[in-house]
Chain A
Amino acid sequence: MAKVLLKGNEAVVRAAIEAGCKYFFGYPITPQNEIPEYFSKELPKIGGAFVQGESEVASINMLYGAAAAGARAMTSSSSPGIALMQEGIGYISKAELPAVIVNMMRGGPGLGGIQPSQSDYHMCVKGGANGDYHNIVLAPGNVQELVDMVQEAFDIADQYGMLVIVLADGLIGQMMEPVELRKPKARPIEPKTWALTGPNGGKPHRIYNLKLQAPDLEQDNIDLFKKYEVIEKNETRYEDYMMDDAEFAFASYGTASRVVRTAVDKLRAEGYKIGLIRPQTLWPFPYEAFKRPNIKKYLDVELSMGQMIDDVAIACGDKNMIEFFGHTGGVLITVDEVCDFAKKIMGGAK
């Protein structure tokens, strides 16, 4: 298929429809409004439905219903909206329903700002709802990867009965890049025999969220975490860049990692042995990627006050091996800033 020039937010819609998503529920919030706007135009054409929810709270609960009904469905929002969705995220996670959320992150906390940020790492990767649960979190680094991940998110959600969050930011949402819609790899996906369709002459389908007996709820959570172990084993993903002979390694994802990648090229041209480890899944986190005996320091670069840094510390086992640089609140990092930061850490070590 030929490449088309698409804005990140529009690309989400194209990719989702390509993946068979027919239902979208969402509430306006900057910087992701092109997603609901484009869906509202496209979904009626394919016999699906677009509903502008009265709130993010309602939208996520509509998604809970559509997922329970067996459909491929999604919502999208940006940081404060995702905060409002946490209740429904917990319910979908408890019911183990397949569903997809796209979060085009902006600065916080509170109402925050509307410029790109990566400060929802804690909320989305560690979980902002109550209880023991995980969501699969995919972190695209450009619009092509956003398209690939949105498409794949629906398959991953169906394969495991999981809520998949595509965690991008306002920059990726607003940026235009040439992209290609590609078929993701085939996955084993069971028919949704549990879906709410009415009994149709068979037994009633029942989807629970309450377990009143503590030992039963404990067992549910143990079973849930057995499933999570399989996902950790199968789905953990990261990308190495210039890591073969590296003595220093950047740790960065999403938009920040693009700036870092250019910084790596610049530093390499000056003779520095530095590379980039870019997590593509944030849960499951690629802990194995940070066990490298040759690395002297990990340089964590984020558009936040440093939220992924805890996972990098767990991964490499020594928080003294990590240095942090970032901007937050919607301020972007520059290549020169990243190079200066790295040089300070590396000193004369070429």
Chain B
Amino acid sequence: MSVVFERSKGLVDVKTHYCPGCSHGIVHRILAESLEEMGLLDEAICMSPVGCAVLALDYFEFDGIQAAHGRAPATATGIKRVHPDKTVITYQGDGDLASIGMCEIIHAAARGEKITTIFINNGIYGMTGGQMAPTTLPGMKATTAQLGRDVSLNGYPIRVAELISTLDGAKYVERVAVCSPAEVNKAKAAIKKALEVQKAGLGFSFVEVLCACPTNWGKTPVDALDFVKNEMIPYYPLGVKKDTTKEGQ
């Protein structure tokens, strides 16, 4: 009997703590598959953020460390400077990366650190219970914006991929979504491309992934995917924001 599908060798065979319909599982899988297919599992080191993915290191069959809230790009910088030949990844959510860690991500990108950041944008704080994130959409409800985000009071969501793409040290920047099988395939291709940029030593690479958080959005998993498609993508347009590789020029 031929094997048509199996779990990536980059994933530990355990149940995760993620909620039903949460996108973390998909992104973990495509990251692990990408590393495996590129032969990088043995040299990969991934920063787990503060947030729901703080336990990601328990699900990956490669090295991991729990970074302080928002500081993953700084910790990754320390590791990459010591081991320039290893594949160093930060896996960060929107509160972690775009709120408390905005300084660290901007400067890691500006320095052109040869690391890859996977940015999970679900527009909400997951682990602490649905508070407003820097990426919460206008009008979207959160436990700290109970009537919906009022931009006159709370300001506007940040389009992080576009922001990062303005920095010369950032060599590959793409925004993807994991709301359908076709989009998941594109997301995986983006992660592989970002890892290739790191391995080629070109500089910083960044993949923003629009994700669903059914629990904190108060939606079913299926409705949450529709929300990504119908509400998030229009505000956060998908696509390559910057590609300085030969193929992109």
Residues of A within 8 A of B (CB): 23, 25, 49, 51, 53-55, 57-59, 61-71, 73, 87-88, 91, 95, 196-201, 204-210
Which one, B58, B71, B78, contacts A67 given CB within 8 A?
B78
**When the two chains form their complex, are residues B86 and A25 in contact, meaning their CB atoms are under 8 A apart?**
no
With A197-B63, A199-B61, A199-B63 given, is the CB distance from A61 to B68 under 8 Å?
yes
Q: How far is the CB of A235 from chain B (nearest CB, A)?
A: 26
With A198-B86, A210-B54 given, is the CB distance from A65 to B76 under 8 Å?
yes
A-B residue pairs in contact (CB < 8 Å), sample of 26: A23-B82, A25-B77, A49-B82, A58-B74, A58-B103, A61-B75, A62-B74, A62-B75, A62-B78, A64-B68, A65-B76, A65-B78, A67-B78, A68-B65, A68-B79, A95-B65, A199-B42, A199-B61, A199-B62, A204-B60, A204-B62, A204-B63, A205-B64, A208-B57, A208-B66, A210-B55
**When the two chains form their complex, are residues B78 and A73 in contact, meaning their CB atoms are under 8 A apart?**
yes
Which one, A54, A95, A209, contacts B103 given CB within 8 A?
A54
Residues of B within 8 A of A208 (CB): 57, 66
With A25-B78, A61-B75, A67-B78 given, is the CB distance from A206 to B57 under 8 Å?
yes
Residues of A within 8 A of B61 (CB): 199, 204
Q: How far is the CB of A72 from chain B (nearest CB, A)?
A: 10
With A91-B68, A204-B62 given, is the CB distance from A197 to B86 under 8 Å?
yes
Which one, B41, B43, B58, B67, contacts A206 given CB within 8 A?
B58
**When the two chains form their complex, are residues A207 and B64 in contact, meaning their CB atoms are under 8 A apart?**
yes
Residues of B within 8 A of A70 (CB): 82
Residues of A within 8 A of B81 (CB): 23, 49, 51, 62, 66
Closest to B43 in A: A198
**When the two chains form their complex, are residues B58 and A58 in contact, meaning their CB atoms are under 8 A apart?**
no
B196, CB-defined interface residue at 8 Å: no
With A62-B78, A68-B78 given, is the CB distance from A196 to B107 under 8 Å?
no
Beyond A23-B78, A54-B104, A68-B75, 8 additional contacts (C-beta under 8 Å) are: A23-B82, A25-B78, A54-B107, A66-B78, A198-B86, A199-B42, A201-B42, A206-B58
With A51-B77, A204-B62, A206-B58 given, is the CB distance from A71 to B82 under 8 Å?
yes
Residue in B78, B79, B86 whose Cβ sees the most chain A Cβ within 10 Å: B78
**When the two chains form their complex, are residues A61 and B74 in contact, meaning their CB atoms are under 8 A apart?**
yes
Which one, A23, A67, A196, contacts B45 given CB within 8 A?
A196
With A49-B81, A88-B71, A196-B79 given, is the CB distance from A206 to B63 under 8 Å?
yes
Q: Flag B96-132 by CB within 8 Å of A: 1 or 0 each.
A: 0000000110110001000000000000000000000
B44, CB-defined interface residue at 8 Å: yes
Closest to A91 in B: B68
Q: How far is the CB of A255 from chain B (nearest CB, A)?
A: 32
